[in-house]
Chain A
Amino acid sequence: MTNVHPIPSPSILNEDRAHEADHPTSLVAKFGMDQPLKLDCGIDLAPFQIAYQTYGELNADRSNAILICHALTLDQHVANLHPLTGKAGWWEIMVGPGRPLDTDRYFIICANVIGGCMGSTGPASTNPATGKAWGLDFPLITIPDMVRAQAMLLDRLGIETLFCVIGGSMGGMQVLQWTAAYPERVFSALPVACSTRHSAQNIAFHELGRQAVMADPDWHHGRYFERSTHPHRGLAVARMAGHITYLSDAALHRKFGRRMQDRELPTFSFDADFQVESYLRYQGSSFVERFDANSYLYLTRAMDYFDIAADHNGVLAQAFRGIKTRFCVVSFTSDWLFPTSESRALVHALNASSARVSFAEIETDRGHDAFLLDVPEFFDISRAFLESAGKARGLGSVGGG
């Protein structure tokens, strides 16, 4: 029979992931029955918790806080080892002493989104009513819900105004939602590789990913944790499809071409003969180690529903009317998931609102994921934007003063 290599089962145990969902290896803010999260779907979620990390020190007048909003498959572990995988933080290249998000100057916060699986309440968390994981009983959440939860966290931390909100992809959507919902709480905003609404093509890719998860017989209508299984093959396929959309044709060609993986000749099988196949399988199998399948369904859905203009009578500029926030919008030339045209539409709306906006399109062949990679021009622009915003905010130089 022709050789087939399926995606391996995750080596991290379901129990460990479940434990992390309820008892995260990070700071946690717990909100009781008296402080429900009012969800867009009409449900009051209570109790709930938000897991978060902080880096650097909050200054005396609480004016140097930067909120990082993470993307779909990331979490609050921005610049520390990941508690499940032991790998480096996902944005260490950007966050740290002397980095663009300089922890010697700014107080950096990143919270796991509501609906996530790294300690903020989501489908992998225990439902207090049943003592079992929420699964599909968890209410549908939206990007505005994520931001509302973050605002409650900031209230808890005693931070009235953020110096900056920054994020890429789904994180960028949250940045935009922050400026639309709480303009007076956001001094500056750096939305990267994102859009004010999810496009039909992006919804289509998400649907593909969700169907892959749901088609996995181990999914069991979202109650896999009760059967000690995890739809890791479906989720890996979703991740592989997603990952292709995060790259570009040019980047894949440059990185892999048609090169073979540890072999000279094709094996005449469905084994991963090509390097690109091997790479994708690795991406898929390493993702399922740390991510909950139901959480992936919920978060992709939240992105699909996102449409700021729709919440403002179909006129995007209305969302930003009279806004004082300083914007720096960044896109990447080879990003076909959130192409420059989307950022340009945002910039037009911000201009129409007379907002103070910078917009840079950065040339790179690395696709959507460029914001996570070593792209010096992006670092320079982020650094300079924060520098000039810091001056306007009266932040001192090193020391956070």
Chain B
Amino acid sequence: MALQEQALPLGGVAPDRTGKYRTDHLLVADMIGRGSKVLDVGCGDGELLQLLESRGIDGRGIELSREGVNRCVARGLAVVQGDADTDLVNYPDDAFDYVILSQTLQATRQPKVVLENLLRIGRRAIVSFPNFGFWKMRLQLLVGGHMPRTENLPATWYDTANIHFCTIKDFVELCDAINVKMERAVALDLYGRPVPLNLPWWVWNMFGEQGVFLLSRGGVGK
């Protein structure tokens, strides 16, 4: 299934010292307080959810692929089969403290609508996605003249599930356009290390292999 690809660990993201969890998952988990109620949209085989549960966080998941869902359920996780594009509308407002969209935004048909839904059903949203502004991507298009493929995103343009790639800069602009407040932003380099915070945006957009954002609803009337 389409999203399964997304569920695979990103090859370039370094594992933590114990080797048990991905760096971006640990980063996401660190943003969430104990006892919070969380929905992980596109939860793959439940790796992040399991990390959250181990930290006393009440986690639920949605996953598109049947195989992924069944692996999650067999791990004892509360996961349902569903599609981010069509099924988020079924959740009531403010149902969760956090809604996570990890490495899935670029595979949705309507990223803007999905993002709006995330912040309707969750008071906060955590979104991570591969940065198409990453220098390696740019180089492939500029020099190679073809659609970029990396070790983390190996699919060819004609069989990829990723239909809405964006750069960190694009995403920031979308957040502005729909009045979403960016509470925290972290770019991870090819090795899963955070790009230093004191560097300007264009550096992030160039050297961040992926971006992780903690979002909340913006104020009224912006």
Query: Which residues of A approach B to under 8 Å, CB–CB?
Result: 326, 328-329, 344, 347-348, 351-352, 354, 356-363, 377, 380-381, 384-385, 387-389, 391
Q: A326-B78, A348-B87, A363-B66 are in contact. Are A358 and B72 (CB under 8 A)?
A: yes
Closest to B67 in A: A363
What residues of chain A lie closer than 8 Å to B87, measured between beta carbons? 348
* B219 CB within 8 Å of chain A: no
CA distance in complex: A388, B53 (Å): 11
* B79 CB within 8 Å of chain A: yes
Q: A356-B78, A384-B76 are in contact. Are A377 and B70 (CB under 8 A)?
A: yes
B76 to A359, Cβ gap below 8 A? Answer: no
| Residue of B72, B76, B87 with most partner-chain A CB within 10 A | B76
A380 to B74, Cβ gap below 8 A? Answer: yes
> Out of B58, B66, B73, which one reaches A385, CB within 8 Å?
B73
Closest to B91 in A: A351
CA distance in complex: A351, B66 (Å): 18
Closest to A340 in B: B81
What residues of chain A lie closer than 8 Å to B76, measured between beta carbons? 384-385, 387-389, 391
B80 to A359, Cβ gap below 8 A? Answer: yes
Q: A359-B80, A360-B81, A385-B76 are in contact. Are A348 and B90 (CB under 8 A)?
A: yes
What residues of chain B lie closer than 8 Å to A381, measured between beta carbons? 70, 73-74
A384 to B75, Cβ gap below 8 A? Answer: yes
Instruction: Name the interface residues of B34-89: CB closer than 8 Å to any CB of A.
Output: 58, 60, 66, 69-70, 72-82, 87
What residues of chain A lie closer than 8 Å to B77, measured between beta carbons? 358, 388
B79 to A358, Cβ gap below 8 A? Answer: yes
B66 to A358, Cβ gap below 8 A? Answer: no
B75 to A357, Cβ gap below 8 A? Answer: no
What residues of chain A lie closer than 8 Å to B69, measured between beta carbons? 359-361
What residues of chain A lie closer than 8 Å to B155, measured between beta carbons? none
B78 to A357, Cβ gap below 8 A? Answer: yes
Q: A348-B90, A352-B91 are in contact. Are A360 and B73 (CB under 8 A)?
A: yes
Distance (whole angstroms) from the CB of B42 to the closest CB of chain A? 15
What residues of chain B lie closer than 8 Å to A347, measured between beta carbons? 80, 82
What residues of chain A lie closer than 8 Å to B218, measured between beta carbons? none
> Out of A348, A354, A356, A384, which one reaches B73, CB within 8 Å?
A384
Interface of B is mostly: mixed
CA distance in complex: A360, B58 (Å): 19
5 closest cross-chain pairs (CB), A and B: A388-B76, A359-B80, A348-B90, A360-B73, A358-B73
* B11 CB within 8 Å of chain A: no
Closest to B37 in A: A354
* B12 CB within 8 Å of chain A: no
Distance (whole angstroms) from the CB of A346 to the closest CB of chain B? 10
CA distance in complex: A391, B60 (Å): 17
A361 to B74, Cβ gap below 8 A? Answer: no
Distance (whole angstroms) from the CB of A186 to the closest CB of chain B? 16
What residues of chain B lie closer than 8 Å to A359, measured between beta carbons? 69, 73, 79-81
A362 to B70, Cβ gap below 8 A? Answer: yes
CA distance in complex: A347, B79 (Å): 10
> Out of A326, A354, A357, A362, which one reaches B80, CB within 8 Å?
A357
CA distance in complex: A377, B92 (Å): 31
Q: A377-B70, A377-B74, A388-B77 are in contact. List 20 more A-B contacts (CB 8 A).
A: A328-B73, A348-B90, A352-B90, A352-B91, A356-B58, A357-B78, A358-B72, A358-B73, A358-B78, A359-B73, A359-B80, A360-B69, A360-B70, A381-B70, A384-B73, A384-B74, A384-B76, A388-B76, A389-B76, A391-B76
| Residue of B82, B90, B91, B95 with most partner-chain A CB within 10 A | B90
CA distance in complex: A362, B81 (Å): 11
Q: A377-B70, A381-B73, A384-B75 are in contact. Are A361 and B92 (CB under 8 A)?
A: no
What residues of chain B lie closer than 8 Å to A388, measured between beta carbons? 76-77
Closest to B70 in A: A360
A354 to B90, Cβ gap below 8 A? Answer: no
What residues of chain A lie closer than 8 Å to B91, measured between beta carbons? 351-352
CA distance in complex: A348, B90 (Å): 6
What residues of chain B lie closer than 8 Å to A361, measured between beta carbons? 66, 69, 81
What residues of chain B lie closer than 8 Å to A389, measured between beta carbons? 76
Distance (whole angstroms) from the CB of A100 to the closest CB of chain B? 11
Distance (whole angstroms) from the CB of A92 to the closest CB of chain B? 22
Distance (whole angstroms) from the CB of A124 to the closest CB of chain B? 40
Distance (whole angstroms) from the CB of B7 to the closest CB of chain A? 16
* B 169-184 to A, binary, CB cutoff 8 A, 1 in contact else 0: 0000000000000000
What residues of chain B lie closer than 8 Å to A363, measured between beta carbons? 66
Distance (whole angstroms) from the CB of B69 to the closest CB of chain A? 6
For this complex, 26 residue pairs linking A to B, each with C-beta atoms less than 8 Å apart, are: A344-B81, A347-B80, A348-B90, A351-B80, A352-B91, A356-B58, A356-B60, A356-B78, A357-B60, A357-B78, A357-B80, A358-B78, A358-B79, A359-B69, A359-B73, A359-B80, A359-B81, A360-B66, A360-B70, A360-B81, A361-B66, A377-B74, A384-B73, A384-B75, A385-B76, A388-B76
CA distance in complex: A377, B71 (Å): 9
What residues of chain A lie closer than 8 Å to B80, measured between beta carbons? 329, 347, 351, 357-359
A351 to B90, Cβ gap below 8 A? Answer: yes
Closest to A383 in B: B74
CA distance in complex: A385, B78 (Å): 9
Q: A348-B90, A360-B81, A388-B76 are in contact. Are A354 and B70 (CB under 8 A)?
A: no
